[in-house]
Structure 1
Amino acid sequence: MGKCELKSEKEIRKQGRGASDERVERTHNISAVRWFDNRAVAMLSTLTGCETVVSAKRWDKTTKQQKDVTMPSVIGDYNRNMGGIDLLDSYLAKYRYKMRSRR
């Protein structure tokens, strides 16, 4: 995705928590998404983009209570499924065996 210019972190921070920006490359159906939570998060996806929005609960320091924040579905999918790879890596680290060979 050459020359894919999403809004800068400063611009998206001014819009506030839950703001997002998306660009789509039509020939390969790749979407680039930048979303602002505590910091700006950028992701590329061929599965989903910003077209569907889910809500997430986040802690608001000023009001000291939970607040609903809009989140693109690509971020929600990543958050739901990110533990699988970490779990696999931890299982592999526990049962590593040393392979030795002789010439």
Structure 2
Amino acid sequence: MKKNDWKDRLNVVYSTNPDFQYEMEENIEEQTLPPAQQRLRVQLDRKNRGGKVVTLITGFTGTEDDLKELGRMLKSKCGVGGSAKDGEIIVQGDFKQKIIELLKKEGYTQTKPVG
């Protein structure tokens, strides 16, 4: 029996070839670079946040799971909330210096403050 799920065939209207194989775009996740090769940028941000200050960590190269794990570690060490998605980590509050120190302790040597 052939797999015939319509979700796998989005954007393909019709094919008259009975042996036609629907080719799927596979999302290839980047390999996570070792901490010493990561070029992270740490900055304070208050745009579109209702005047609240957040610490923004950008420049992470790797899988979404590793990004979330790093974000979880930073948020727990600072004792605040935040999020990690789309290649950036948001930590609520002004923890720029503390996060830079934590990242350097974890081996992220190419971390630099922005602004």
Q: Report the TM-score range of the alignment, normalised by the length of the smaller protein.
A: under 0.3
Structure 2 length as normaliser, TM-score? 0.21
TM normalised by structure 1 equals 0.23
Structure 1 or 2, whichever has the larger Rg, is 2
- More contact order relative to length (CA 8 Å, sep ≥ 6): 2
Q: Counting strand residues as a fraction of each chain, which structure ranks higher? A: 1
